[in-house]
Amino acid sequence: MARITKVSVSAGRTFNHPHESYSNLRPQVHFEAEIQEGEDHLEVAKQLQAQAEGLVEDHKRAMLQSIEELYDMGVKQARIAGLRSTIERAQRDLDEARKSLPAPNGLMVKVDTWEPRPDEESDGNEDKDEPF
Rounded CA separation 42/7 (Å): 9
Give the confidence band of 132 by pLDDT, cuts at 50, 70, 90. Answer: very low
Contact 18, 47 (CB under 8 A): no
pLDDT tens digits, one per residue of 86-110: 999 999 999 998 888 776 665 655 5
CB burial class (10 A; 0-12, 13-18, 19+) of residue 58? Answer: exposed
Q: How many CA atoms lie within 13 A of 107 on its CB side?
A: 6
* SS3 state of residue 83: helix
pLDDT tens digits, one per residue of 9-36: 999 999 999 999 999 999 999 999 999 9
Q: Is the pTM above the cut of 0.85?
A: no
